[in-house]
Structure 1
Amino acid sequence: MRTRTLIAIVDDDRSVRDSIENLVRSLGLTARAYASASDYLLRARDVEVALLITDFQMAGLTGLDLLQEIRRNGELTPVILITGLVRPGIARRAIEAGALACLNKPIDDCDLIELFGKALGPLS
């Protein structure tokens, strides 16, 4: 029996969290949102996350820090980094750290859904 697929969303911008969470739920998937990387690390310990979407730039631990931390812990969860920063090298750093992708904000829903398929397999 297949368990429900949980997609975790980590972003310090509530409107971004809500928007992605609504998209995930519209696809029939389960979402859980976190306001910071630290919050995610504290509250998601006993949760099986199928995909993590995190903002690159946040106060405290950044999305890149979060990605590096979960990789150090041996977690292979696919990670999509999102960013409002348009600086050379950000996407390269994310991919080199093990991210599935790095998307610029505002995020195109179709691009995100395509990445869901790559990370989770067919959605239908």
Structure 2
Amino acid sequence: MTRVPVISIVDDDKPGRVALSSLMRSLGYESHLFSCAEDFLASTERNVTDCLITDVQMPGMSGLDLQLEMGVRSPLIPIIFITAHPDESVRHRAEAGGAVFFLSKPFDGQVLIDCIERILKSTHAHPIRV
């Protein structure tokens, strides 16, 4: 039996989290939702996550801070950053830290699907600009 991929979503925007979760479930993936980076880091779901989707700007720990902390605590988990406030310096920091994709809101759902499928098919995904 094939294991269902687990996509964890960290976003302080509840409607956005729920919409992403619905999309993940429609693709046959399991989704775990977190309203903040601290909750994700404290969870055991971190250990089974195949892909992380996180907002850049959140109260408390930012998505970039989460990325740095995960580098200390966790095995490498591919990260897709999403943001309503695209900034080239933030994109650069995310990619320098190993982010696989960086999407500006609003983004087409198919673009996100393509990103996730690419991550799940490759253990060696490289950062690209979308």
TM above 0.5, yes or no, is yes
Q: What SS class does the counterpart of residue 65 from structure 2 fall into?
A: helix
After superposition, the Cα gap between the structure-2 partners of 1:121 and 1:80, relative to the gap in structure 1 and judged at 3 Å, is same
- Counterpart residue number, 1:23: 23
Task: Measure the CA separation in 1 of the matches of 2:120 and 2:89.
Answer: 27
- Counterpart residue number, 2:8: 8
Task: Measure the CA separation in 2 of the matches of 1:75 and 1:26.
Answer: 27
Residue 88 of structure 1, CA deviation = 2.8
Equivalent position amino acid for 1:103 in 2: L
Residue 107 of structure 1, CA deviation = 2.3
Offset from partner CA, 1:45-100 (integer Å, 9 cap, x none):
56410000000000111001111111122521100011111323221111011100
Question: In 2, are the aligned partners of 1:11 and 1:58 still within 8 Å (CA)?
Answer: yes
- Counterpart residue number, 1:63: 63
- Superposition CA RMSD, Å: 1.6
Equivalent position amino acid for 1:17 in 2: R
Question: In 2, are the aligned partners of 1:91 and 1:101 still within 8 Å (CA)?
Answer: no
After superposition, the Cα gap between the structure-2 partners of 1:74 and 1:31, relative to the gap in structure 1 and judged at 3 Å, is closer
Query: Aligned residue pairs: how many?
Result: 122
- Counterpart residue number, 2:128: none
After superposition, the Cα gap between the structure-2 partners of 1:46 and 1:27, relative to the gap in structure 1 and judged at 3 Å, is closer
Equivalent position amino acid for 1:59 in 2: P
Please, which moves more after superposition, 64-73 or 33-42? 64-73
